[in-house]
Every structure is written in structure tokens, then in C-alpha cells.
Amino acid sequence: MSRKAVLMVVVLLVLPMLAGCSGSEQPPTPGEQSETAPEAESNDPVTETDADADTAGPQTTMGPTDERMEMLRSELEDRGIMVQRIEHDGDRIDVWYRTIKRTRSHHLRTMDDFIDEYASLLRNGGTADRLEVRMQNGHGEPIGRFHIMGGWIESFDNGGMTERELENRTVETLEPSDPEFFQ
């Protein structure tokens, strides 16, 4: 392939990513809407009242641990979990996520993913005593919930509980609102 052809392919691949990103845009003034998503430079907590209630997509309510909550969201999404919202009130983290999978094995793997990420959060300075997870189907309707206690993670880390016991305790908290979804 000629040098010109390689450059043309690179330009065609990179140009769409750079479209609209001049890098010299000023942030919108209050009351003015931006055409692009704002950069996450502010340390101000975001609440649902700050966002338009009709806005599509995930909304997040966060407290003083914004960075940790965003990291939790990112890690869960990297595992393929469609996080819709995260709230943190100091003692508890609430996560809403959507799933279209209907198999028990999928839900058990997802529960393990939440255990792993909650444990990582606590090991890295997170302070919530409980992770409450609310599951929704593809239409946003509730299908169930489960929770993980921080004390269980601590007990596991200290050798007082096996991985299987931690998983079983979490599964025992499952409250399906749509049992047929958990075939």
C-alpha cells in the first residue's frame, strides 16, 4: 500500500473522532446549552435535580466520593454491566442496572462482578457499609434486587469466610420481583 493510501486511511479513521473537537471551545455560560458533553473537571456533586428529568441515558447522584463512584461505574461497565444510576449516601451505595439476559448463570456471574468491584472499592478506601443493587429489564422495569454487606467483604479478606460463602450470602439476598426473568 502506498504512503498516500495509508495516510488517507488514517485520516478517514481519525477525522470522525475529531469532528467538532476544536479544543478551543469555551464552556457554556449558566443557562446556555452545550452541543457536546461537558468535561468532568468540576468537583461539584451532581444530583438528579441538576439534570433535565427528560434527559435520556444514565443519571448519577453522587456525594463526596465522586471519583470512587465514577471508578465503580467504569469498572462495572467494563465488565459489560449497563449501569443506569449510582447513588451514594455515605453508609450505602445504590446501583441500578439493566439486563436483557434471562439465564440464572448470567445473573450469578453478574453478582460475582458486583462482589469483586465492591470489594475493590472498599479495599481502596471506599466507606459504604452496603451495596444495594437493583436490576431492571431492557425496558427499565424492576426485575429484582440483591445486596452485599461490607462486613462480608471484610470477613472474606480476613479469612473468616470463603469465596463460596460470600457468593452464597449474596445470592441469599436476591429478591426477584419477576421470578420468570431468573430461569
Report yes or no: 115 and 167 within 8 Å, Cβ to Cβ. Answer: yes
Contact 182, 104 (CB under 8 A): yes
Q: Express each pLDDT in 99-128 by its tens digit.
A: 888 788 888 999 999 999 999 999 988 888
Length of the chain in terms of residues written? 183
How far the first Cα of the chain sits from its last, in Å, is: 53
For 125-136, how does the pLDDT look when each residue is reduced to its tens digit (9 = 90+)? Answer: 888 899 999 999
How is domain 59-178 classified at the CATH fold level? Answer: GMP Synthetase; Chain A, domain 3 (3.30.300)
Q: Where are the domains of the chain?
A: 59-178
Q: Name which residue leads in pLDDT, 170 or 18.
A: 170
Q: What percent of the chain has pLDDT over 90?
A: 44
The predicted model gives 63-68 an average pLDDT of: 67
Q: Could you give the CA distance from residue 46 to residue 121 in angstroms, rounded to a whole number?
A: 20
Q: Higher pLDDT residue, 135 or 34? A: 135
The residue whose grid cell reads 495516510 is: 7
pLDDT at 179: 72
